[in-house]
Amino acid sequence: MSPARVSGLISAGGPATRRAGWGVADQALSSLTNFGLAVVLARGLTAEGFGAASITFAVYVLVLNVSRSLTSEPLTVRHSRQDRTEWAGPAAAALGAELVIGLITAAGLLVVARWVGGPSGGALAALAITMPGLLLQDGWRFAFFATGRPRAAFMNDLLWLVFMILTLAVALAGGSPEPWPYVLAWGLAGAMAGIAGIAQARLLPAPRRTVAWFRTNRDLATRYAAESIVLAGSSQLRLVIVGVVGGLAMAGALRAGQVIMNALNPLSYGLQLTAVPEAVAIARRDRGRLTRYVARLAIGLGAVSLLWGVAVWLIPSGLGQALFGATWDEAHSTIPGQTIVVVASGLSAGAIVGLRALAAAGHSLRARILSSIIGLVAATLGAMTGDVALCAIAIGVAIAIGTIIWWASYVLARRRPGSPQASATALADEIRLEADGVPAET
């Protein structure tokens, strides 16, 4: 579907609806790009090479999530929907910090790549070369969403896809059995899209403001980074626990069920990309209206998740076996529990967006840690039953309990006195736009 067609479909609603539509479209495009890359790698590499590339991309995702927590999320929470004179200075600082994080990470990855050697070392070295540009590209996505320009984020991701088609064509023509040319092609395409973002926004990143950025956003950045690590670690650890306690077959069935249910991720992530800036703008005006907004978001996501779970449960056995082979029957038995998980996660998303809008990073981190611990305990107890369906239900119940924790945390945070944007002015004063001559938008 062409960008013009996408634009026509999205423009049918009001401003908030259009922004949400672009968010979903952008996330769908990103997911499609990742899927296409995985297909190319799987067809062009040996099993060893594909494994090395997979590890490399897992490292990238980990670094990306931590970098977002340190830069993009605080920018979104404190500077969404501001006019350009207020937003440009903090945005330049956040994007400059992304570049600094990318350079530091690149140096570390090059050391690790030299130590590891082999296909994994080559792939990590290729990632290191392109890491600053990749983080910059992701930073532009969040910056565009924060300013209410999700179409610009979509176009930037579309540029990445176009560049990736060109660079991967060159890599495929080379016919190398090693993963590094493909990782380099993907990374260079992302870096070129990151450079294009400078032209789109008419704004230069300011790496020299990195210290000022972290000094004034330390309260949010450190907690968001810790939350990101807890989330990634606990979700992976749950699967490891199931594999150790219940066996690899149980872990495989549980993972297959997760893959089926994860088809909703572009919708959920895309809505949340636009929901946080919307919620921040609402919170500045009326906290009562904020509660209504995040409640509607939670109910909407929960309802769509429930419908998807029912639809997956009704998939004919023959079609399921054609898609997932021998793992289908066991995976299908996990769908009731997996449905509880996605419904509860959708309901939790509203509270999480509300906590971001209130800049309540401490409440959010505590809720994440507590809900993650409950999830790990539930995975252990469920795996001990030896029944994968019961294990999935146990995890689902734990996530549902986590939903209660998230909403209780939101209620407590909402009762806090003071403005959620209290330290935004400090950053604006410290890294004043005019001091650097940031070009105005024309």
The answer to whether residue 64 scores a pLDDT higher than 50 is: yes
**Of residues 386, 390, 142, 393, the one with CA closest to residue 273:** 142
The answer to whether residue 441 scores a pLDDT higher than 50 is: no
The answer to whether residue 436 scores a pLDDT higher than 60 is: no
pLDDT grade, residue 36 (50/70/90)?
Answer: confident
Mean pLDDT of 142-155: 90
The answer to whether residue 367 scores a pLDDT higher than 50 is: yes
Cα 290 to Cα 107, 129, 410: the distances in Å are 43, 42, 11
**What span, in angstroms and rounded, lies between the C-alpha atoms of 266 and 27?**
5
pLDDT grade, residue 257 (50/70/90)?
Answer: confident
pLDDT grade, residue 9 (50/70/90)?
Answer: very low
Query: What pLDDT was estimated at residue 67?
Result: 94
Question: Residue 278 contacts by C-beta under 8 Å, 6 or more apart in sequence?
Answer: 16, 19, 293
> In whole angstroms, how large is the CA radius of gyration of the chain?
22
Query: What pLDDT was estimated at residue 321?
Result: 75
Query: What pLDDT was estimated at residue 424?
Result: 45
**What span, in angstroms and rounded, lies between the C-alpha atoms of 131 and 234?**
25
Asked if residues 227 and 409 have their Cβ atoms less than 8 Å apart, the reply is: no
Mean pLDDT of 23-41: 78
Asked if residues 87 and 79 have their Cβ atoms less than 8 Å apart, the reply is: yes
Q: CA-CA-CA-CA torsion for 60, 66, 68, 74, nearest 10 degrees?
A: -170
Q: Residue type for 24, please?
A: V
The label of the residue with tokens 């929901």 reads 275
Residues making up the chain, counted from first to last: 442
> Which of 127-141, 298-312, 410-424 is predicted most confidently?
127-141
**What span, in angstroms and rounded, lies between the C-alpha atoms of 101 and 127?**
14
pLDDT grade, residue 50 (50/70/90)?
Answer: confident
Judged on CB neighbours under 10 Å (0-12, 13-18, 19+), 161 is: middle
Q: Residue type for 344, please?
A: A
Q: List pLDDT tens digits, range 77-105.
A: 999 888 888 889 999 999 999 999 999 99
Question: Residue 328 contacts by C-beta under 8 Å, 6 or more apart in sequence?
Answer: 256, 317, 320, 321
The label of the residue with tokens 């949340």 reads 272
